[in-house]
Amino acid sequence: MASPQIVWLRRDLRLADNPALYAAAQAGPIIPVFVLDDERTGDRKYGGASRWWLHHSLESLAKSFGRHNASLILRHGDSVDILADLAAKTGASAIHANRHYEPWWRKAQGDLKKALPDRCELELHDGNYLMPPGTATTGSGTPYKIYTPFSRALRDLMPPRDELPAPETISQPGDLPPSDDLADWGLIPTNPDWSKQMAQFWSIGEDAAHERLDWWADHVGVYDEGRNLPSVDQTSQMSPHLHWGEISPVQIWHRMKDKRSDGWRTYESELIWRDYAQNILCQFPRYPEESYRDAIDDAKLWRNPNRGHVIQEELEAWQYGRTGYPIVDAGMRQLWAIGWMHNRVRMIAASFLIKHLLIDWRHGARWFWDTLVDADYANNGVNWQWVAGSGVDANMFTRIMAPLSQSEKFDAADYIRQWVPELATLSDEAIHDPDAHDARPSGYPAKIIGHKAGRERALAAYRRMKR
């Protein structure tokens, strides 16, 4: 009989198009293992919203294995120690895993190779991106740093690999190692339970991801324009499913490849952006922690919340949607309620924190890390540095988004009514800027800082930094 094959699952919580699982199932009986590793991640352990999603995604995955009369093994601790021990005790000849590029996972992959018994090999597969990082390179063979040429090069290499089916049958050893009880991990919030709206909004798991894809295939044609309109449901909302690997970008691409709409072309660009972010992370492992551009002097430019209660209070007002800017507040309250924010509003809210409030982008990135169900280490860092003007490929700091005019331009009135109910009775004209129309209710805060004053302060700080 073939030796057991361990499948090390991380953010690849699916049966179909899972190269690691597919290869393992071809080689012998499998032991699928998910390790909740809060040790190697350090201060980058999953945030509250991510842990909530993870609970339900693992619950769904366990049911999917159950339909194949198979079990998912759960463990909590150092992933290298746990997997090496399982390999020794089960007699596994291989551990199969899809590559992950966060610095702690790259180190863990290297450490695991060294820790395994002589008879056991670590087999790494590529399964979470359109193409493995490093596939698209410049003429000189170096990685791209700028998105646009990267995107062109990746498109020239299309199509991605073929989609893999889920294993038809899954066999397991007769004597499986014990598993933790998922409920004992405490991933679901209690006292208080802040996840009730999240539970109402999201369906989680591989089946739910494909149901959303079915819907999206019929609606992607309007995405080119619809993606900027927060008041209407014209975005895929696939990001958490992609992040947790309940569906792969390869599956989405093959489903959409025959589309000819501008909407699909734009959405494909965003799938490519996910690949781009991982390519940046491979080149600069600390990118989500450190400003890339030397021209950005963090100490001179930013107002640090740790240096004064006023700045800290402004950060908290932004976090909880009390800035006095309805579009910003709506986005931040949506984030708190459902663990997700409309992408156009993410840019507006991020720009407001960085430029109107002059608060270091890392404070915003950390808040998103804790509150987003799709909190991705690479994407989060790349996106925040793009807005801040500090990244390798970034918007200029001096380009400052105007939240009030953005709100009007993209018709956010109904979006604001949904998430800022104290403004719900205001007219379409007044709701974007209640102060300007003398219509601000007593229960809604005045602007922390006026748009003109905030813009001028940001530009002045930038000029001082450049001296």
How far from 124 is each of 6, 86, 112, 128, 170, CA to CA, in Å? 12, 18, 11, 12, 20
What pLDDT score was predicted for residue 298? 85
Same domain, 371 and 316: yes
Number of domain units in the chain? 3
Residue 172 resides in a domain: no
- Among 234, 253, 283, give the residue marking a domain's end: 283
What pLDDT score was predicted for residue 466? 86
Same domain, 239 and 261: yes
Q: What is the DSSP string of 387-442?
A: HHT-SSS---TT----HHHHHHHTT-HHHHHHH-GGGTTS-TTTTT-GGGGT---T
What is the chain's Cα-based Rg? 23
Element (H, E) at 336: helix 326-338
Non-local (6+) Cβ contacts of 175 within 8 A are: none
How far from 434 is each of 75, 326, 428, 450, CA to CA, in Å? 52, 8, 10, 13
Residue 50 resides in a domain: yes
Please check whether residue 185 is in contact with residue 62, taking contact to mean a CB–CB distance below 8 angstroms. no
Residue 460: give the domain boundaries: 298-466
Same domain, 355 and 451: yes
Element (H, E) at 96: strand 94-98
What pLDDT score was predicted for residue 1? 67
Q: What is the DSSP letter of 317?
A: H
Same domain, 121 and 133: no
Angle between helices 343-351 and 377-388 (to 10 degrees): 50
Q: What is the mean pLDDT of each successive set of 10 residues along the chain, which is 467 residues long? A: 94 98 97 97 95 98 98 98 98 98 98 97 97 96 97 97 96 96 97 95 98 97 96 96 98 97 97 98 96 88 85 97 98 98 97 97 97 97 96 92 96 98 97 97 96 96 90
Residue 176 resides in a domain: no
Same domain, 145 and 274: yes
What pLDDT score was predicted for residue 308? 74
How many angstroms separate the CA atoms of 180 and 292, rounded?
41
Same domain, 314 and 456: yes
Q: Which two tokens stand for residue 453?
A: 């004053």
Same domain, 150 and 277: yes
Same domain, 350 and 258: no
Q: Which residues pair with 73 in a beta bridge?
A: 33
- Among 99, 127, 155, give the residue marking a domain's end: 127
Same domain, 366 and 252: no
Same domain, 317 and 438: yes
- Among 127, 146, 178, give the residue marking a domain's end: 127
Same domain, 209 and 106: no
Please check whether residue 238 is in contact with residue 5, taking contact to mean a CB–CB distance below 8 angstroms. no
Same domain, 73 and 92: yes
